[in-house]
Amino acid sequence: MTILVTGGAGFIGSNFVYYMLSKHPDDKILCVDKLTYAGNLETLDDAMKNDNFRFFKTDICDREGIYSIFKDEKPDIVVNFAAESHVDRSIDNPEIFLQTNILGTQVLMDACRKYGITRFHQVSTDEVYGDLPLDRPDLFFTEETPIHTSSPYSSSKAGADLLVLAYHRTYGLPVTISRCSNNYGPYHFPEKLIPLMIANALNDKPLPVYGKGENVRDWLYVEDHCKAIDLIIRNGKVGEVYNVGGHNEMKNIDIVKLICRKLGKPESLITYVTDRKGHDLRYAIDPAKIHNELGWEPETKFADGINKTIDWYLTHRQWWENIISGEYQSYYEKMYGNR
Ligand code: NAD
Ligand code: DAU
């Protein structure tokens, strides 16, 4: 089987590439990635040594380029991770989010219709459901929860989801969608909460917590997300949405304090900064459907996952130091300079 993975030079996409190459050694994995600021070819160094892997530096919005890959390579399954993924950047400049996340998804699905595939899988997010109140711990996002977005990022992901479902109903495209909660683990770009706090703490820099740090996220180790997607593309029902999450809710401030403790850094590094505009309060996934239908459950406990993650950042310092020494500096200054 040939599986085309878009966005495979990013955080979750690269973890998925490695998961698939080791779990399904008979499958061929093709990776399409534009290599934006978030894509890193170094991350795929080991994959490049595998004969079952091929990399294409292509924008998913480039119709001709995408059609040519489909024509030559004839993928059976497409898993679409490629996206602009950072909420703060979407607040600063929404346009590229609409282009890549919605129009890029359309180009991929048009290619799927033209050349034929057995499955198009859209990697979506729990953010399409908006947020839950902090004082109602009994409420969770199910697949029936109405779409109700807060940021340009989540709106672009919701737009893509609706288009994916429309391509199924209108053209019969065999699609599935997964909506996952916050991932953490190796190769996470240090603009996101956990890797940013690890990198700053290791460099004894301030740890910028938005608002009071009371917002809650539902954290899942990235490999558990990869396993869920692998199950869905093989056994999931066409036309269906699957929520993915591990019932592991934590306040941001507790995560940051935990990172300080693990790294032996003082909590005095924590700096409360101006809140994110439209900041979602709480995400919490009900994963009953994927558990009951496909037998998925998270295997990595947060206590183990965070230790593995911190160890990875300690042993791969060059990987993230290279990132934060480049154009990231001007991003950081713009986002945090006067906050
Ligand atoms: P990321 O920002 O780390 O990686 C995105 C990748 O997509 C990069 O390699 C980038 O170069 C590539 N890309 C961007 N625009 C492209 C384009 N036009 N054409 C081709 N490639 C392009 O993102 P991530 O955190 O790995 O997220 C991957 C997917 O999972 C996204 O669709 C995101 O919405 C979704 N998701 C993420 C999380 C999370 O916690 N990170 C949770 C749920 C869902
Ligand atoms: O829920 C899934 C989503 O999780 C994905 O769809 C997104 O692609 C992914 O980026 C992530 O979105 P969040 O906005 O939840 O992640 P982020 O790491 O940016 O922020 C997590 C929380 O930490 C959020 O409440 C904002 C807060 N935060 C973040 C940063 C970067 C801070 O307090 N300080 C920071 O410097």
- pLDDT tens profile 256-311: 999 999 999 999 999 999 999 999 999 999 999 999 999 999 999 999 999 999 99
Cα(338) to centroid of ligand 2, in Å? 19
Sign of CA dihedral 34, 39, 45, 47: negative
Share of residues in the chain with pLDDT > 90 (%):
99
Q: 132, 98, 109, 84: which is closest to 4 by C-alpha?
A: 109
The proportion of the chain whose per-residue pLDDT surpasses 70, expressed as a percent, equals 100
Catalytic residue among 18, 19, 129, 153: 153
Distance CA 219, CA 43 (A): 22
Are 21 and 53 a contacting pair, CB within 8 Å?
A: yes
The pLDDT of residue 223: 98
The pLDDT-based confidence of 66 (bands split at 50, 70, 90) is very high
Burial 103-117 (b: 16+ CB within 10 A, else e): bbbbbbbbbbeebeb
pLDDT, position 151: 98
| pLDDT-based confidence at residue 326 (cuts at 50, 70, 90) | confident
Mean pLDDT over all residues of the chain?
98
Q: What is the mean pLDDT of residues 121-134?
A: 98
pTM of the predicted structure, to 2 decimals? 0.98
The backbone torsions φ and ψ at residue 27, rounded to the nearest 5 degrees and listed phi first, read: -85, 150
Q: Is residue 20 lining ligand 2, measured as CB closer than 6 Å?
A: no
Please give the distance, rounded to the nearest whole angstrom, from the Cα atom of residue 87 to the centre of ligand 2: 7
Ligand 2 contact, 127 CB (< 6 A): yes
CA 79/CA 175 separation, integer angstroms: 10
The candidate with the shortest Cα–Cα distance to 198, out of 294, 320, 283, 301, is 320
Mean pLDDT of 13-38: 98
The burial class, CB within 10 Å (0-12 / 13-18 / 19+), for 123 is: buried
Distance, first Cα to last Cα, the chain: 49
pLDDT band at 339 (very low <50, low <70, confident <90, very high): confident
How many CB atoms are closer than 10 A to CB 190? 20
